[in-house]
Amino acid sequence: MLDIRFIRENPDRVREGARKKRIECDVDAILDVDGRKRALMQEAEELKAIRNRVSKEVPQLQGDEKKAKIQEMQKVSAQIKAFDGKLREIDEQLEALMLRVPSPPAPEVPDGEDDTQNTELRTWGEVPSFDFELKDHIELGELHDIIDVPRGAQIAGSRNYILKGLGTQLDQAVLRLAFDHMIGKGFVPLTVPLLVRDQAMVGTGYYPGGEEQAYRCERDGLSLIGTSEVPLTSYHAGEILDVADLPRKYVALSPCFRREAGTHGKDTRGLYRVHQFYKVEQVIIGRADEELSKQYHSEILTNSEELLQMLGIPYRVVNVCGGDLGQGQIQKFDLESWMPSRESYSETHSASRFHDFQARRLNLRYKDEDGKVQHCHTLNNTVIASPRALIPILELNQRADGSISIPEVLRPYMGGREQIGG
């Protein structure tokens, strides 16, 4: 959520930001409701001043004059009560509009409509060539009896799967490597709730607007998380932190759930787009300093790049264009890993900075060196998400005989095993 004062002072910047993100935003309607709210507040304050003045005069009066003043004060109190009701109503209108306002993206965000217009910044590793016919990860999984999509779909419907035997061990090895990597970086590990209240979803910017992607437990008013960013960023909601304790760096390994609404017929084969997966997520909560936020953004991106390099997965970094940014993101870098079966780099990580967009919704603040209370800046990035990460791991490490070499960095997590099959 943006500061209403920022919108008042920079309406054209907010309009241009919404245009760049391709998000509808009626700035004029917001300013109109805000203006009416301020006018009502001024009238209410004037009436309260009259009531206070009259209440001081009443004890000094006698008889009919006192009675008249009391009646006058009662009328004023009734008017104030009516104004309070109008203010509550207009507050609700303004909040509903404000929750839809996107953050203006950073100047270095490229213009563009969708992910096809993201800008490549750099690549790492060489895309390998093979002198034999490649199998995709599903063929490899069936060959070695480590992936079972038909039974997963039978139990839970489309876009579900079962990992089995060494497939499960490989999945857990990747997640544990990522988790240990982040702990080694000084991030504090948290075990977080998977079902959260609406205020956490609203606070992190997933509601309103993202309800169709979430699994809702209507009876309990809870939602399954699509990323542990939600509980991690909400961890200090409503608190005032000390600047000396910033930044706060957290990491969580959790199941994640997404309905994948609107993707009918897209990426239906394999493990790329599924309803349930596991993710290691990193979150930083820092002070309201743009340069520091940029440094943290680079840091969380580097953390994930290091992991892909450890796994030997070629990747590229892209600067995400305005039309592919979410409502609250100031800037986002995607890491796209090379997946032979897709014959392309495909997104596996998203590193985002939000400035105070999430913190304002969560009322997440800190007291600076001068004792002034400020809203924090928040950032997050995927460390690894699996089973999507298994696609390049399995496909890039296959051999002509169908066996799969296990990346050296994962072998300690698999009892020293060097390969699957063969």
334-389 tens-digit pLDDT? 999 999 999 999 999 999 999 999 999 999 999 999 999 999 999 999 999 999 99
Which range scores top for mean pLDDT: 52-66, 257-271, 343-357?
Answer: 343-357
Q: Counting every residue, how long is the chain?
A: 422
Q: Which of these, 68, 86, 102, lies nearest to 355 by C-alpha position?
A: 102
The neighbouring-strand residues paired with 398 are: 404
Torsion of CA 54, 60, 64, 67, to 10 degrees: 40
Predicted pLDDT of residue 267:
78
Enter the DSSP assignment of 111.
P
Higher-confidence residue of 200 and 80: namely 200
Task: Flag whether pLDDT at 302 surpasses 70.
Answer: yes
Strands 240-242 and 365-367: parallel
Task: Flag whether pLDDT at 53 surpasses 80.
Answer: no
Q: How many angstroms separate the most distant Cα atoms in the chain? A: 107
Could you give phi then psi for residue 272, rounded to 5 degrees?
A: -70, -45
Predicted pLDDT of residue 87:
87
Task: Flag whether pLDDT at 268 surpasses 80.
Answer: no
Predicted pLDDT of residue 79:
79
Q: The pTM is what?
A: 0.91
Residues annotated as catalytic (active site), given as ranges: 258, 273, 347, 350, 388
Predicted pLDDT of residue 48:
77
Q: Residue type for 399, please?
A: R
Predicted pLDDT of residue 69:
65
If phi > 0 it is left, if psi is from -120 to 50 it is alpha, else beta; for residue 186 that is left
Could you give phi then psi for residue 198, rounded to 5 degrees?
A: -60, -30
Residue 58 pLDDT grade (very low, low, confident, very high; cuts 50, 70, 90) = low
Mean pLDDT, the chain, as a whole number? 94
Task: Flag whether pLDDT at 164 surpasses 90.
Answer: yes
Question: What does the pLDDT average to over 158-163?
Answer: 96
- Please list, in sequence order, all residues whose beta carbon lies within 8 angstroms of the beta carbon of residue 295, skipping any fewer than 6 positions away: none
